[in-house]
Structure 1
Amino acid sequence: MKLNRRNIHRDLGYFYVGLIISFAFSGILMNHREHWHPEKYTVETKRINVNLPEKSEITEEYAEKLGKELGIDDKIRRHNVKKGTFKISFEKHDVEIDMETGEGEIIAFNKTPIISQTMKLHKSTSNWWIYYSDIFGISLITIAFTGVIMITHGKNTFRRRGWKLAVAGIIIPLLVLFLIG
């Protein structure tokens, strides 16, 4: 195989097509994670009635103990009392109980198949994955660069037309950064 810009561009594109699609898909989902939790979905909601102590007696230990009494064996993430509602968040369950009535519910969650796995790509801190992702990033730069210089003749070259699109592609994210920041 001849090593030139077209072959490098093509072969890196073929090699990374699955990862590009996975990153793009999970990136879109992560952009909207405030509107829905893409990693979990409700499997079961169970109504409960609990005799709660005074607000001052609700501690982390109490929240863990209550979780066990309710049959939840997940690791506790956090608990709080806000606006008259006692909330406990576990890895796979959420519990919400009205402080006055003791009525509430347990919401059980499971991972959304495929979506939760692709979202792990963005969150992974494993050393080998970080290095692989760095190589992927360098490859994306190479794919972009070889794509820019691939067409050398005609009206659609980088010099005649492509640079305008590239500048627009750079300006838009910069504007967003300045407007948000």
Structure 2
Amino acid sequence: MKQKLIRNIHRDFGYFYVGLIISFAFSGILMNHRQVWSPEKYTVETKIIQVSLPDKSQISEEFAENLGKKLGIDDKMRRHSIKKETFKISFEKHDVEIDLKTGVGEIVAFKKTPIISQTMKLHKSTSNWWIYYSDIFGISLILIAITGTLMITHGKNTFKKRGWKLAVAGIIFPLIVLVILS
């Protein structure tokens, strides 16, 4: 009876969460590579601009917001920065980059990529209900993992005989990577 209960729990939680597991895995892969490409957005239009900029010391958040309005950008500004003689402004639906010396730059307008941007919200959401649901999902993944280790009780491939070694390796490998990366 115990063996059947473990299999049933493992199967039912697996079936219930299969869609979320696939969505999280897919969006997690995309999030891992978000520095290389912008999976959430795609370019709709690029426009070359020429503007007069004040001295670096006079560029403020207020200046960036006003410049955006002058350039016809009406969405909310996220941030601005100056890096390597380039003035950058990030808006919700536009990015602006301007060379500080020449005043030449470009406005890139983009839209959210359908489906991909929605699945990536799974990793970014901070709403209370989603956090609690994600916690339940995390606990369920632990339960799926534990019941999976208990399903095979006879033979040479049980968790006690072989599986624990692979589980330990699965824990050690990311720890080694974290040590190397830090």
TM-score (norm 1): 0.91
Aligned letter for 2:158?
A: T
Aligned letter for 2:95?
A: D
d(CA) in 2 for partners of 1:148 and 1:43?
A: 49
* Map of 1:100 onto structure 2: 101
* Map of 2:33 onto structure 1: 32
TM-superposed deviation, 1:55: 2.8
Q: What RMSD in Å do the two structures reach over aligned CA positions?
A: 1.7
d(CA) in 2 for partners of 1:178 and 1:166?
A: 19
* Map of 1:177 onto structure 2: 178
User: Residues 15-57 of structure 1, C-alpha deviation per residue, up to 9 Å, x if partnerless?
Assistant: 0000000111111111112212221121110111222233333
Query: Does residue 57 of structure 2 align to residue 56 of structure 1?
Result: yes
Aligned letter for 1:170?
A: I
TM-score (norm 2): 0.91
* Map of 1:145 onto structure 2: 146
- Aligned ranges 1:106-121 → 2 under 5 Å: 106-121=107-122
User: Residues 147-178 of structure 1, C-alpha deviation per residue, up to 9 Å, x if partnerless?
Assistant: 10101112221122211211111111121222
> Identity over aligned residues, as a percent?
79
d(CA) in 2 for partners of 1:180 and 1:37?
A: 23
* Map of 2:67 onto structure 1: 66
Query: Does residue 53 of structure 2 align to residue 45 of structure 1?
Result: no
* Map of 2:87 onto structure 1: 86
Where in structure 1 are there 5+ consecutive unaligned residues? none
d(CA) in 2 for partners of 1:175 and 1:101?
A: 47
d(CA) in 2 for partners of 1:99 and 1:158?
A: 62
d(CA) in 2 for partners of 1:93 and 1:154?
A: 60
User: Residues 38-79 of structure 1, C-alpha deviation per residue, up to 9 Å, x if partnerless?
Assistant: 211211101112222333332222211111111101111222
Aligned letter for 1:104?
A: G
User: Residues 85-135 of structure 1, C-alpha deviation per residue, up to 9 Å, x if partnerless?
Assistant: 222111111111223332211001211111111111111111111111111
Gap change, CA 1:16 and 1:46, over 3 Å in 2: same
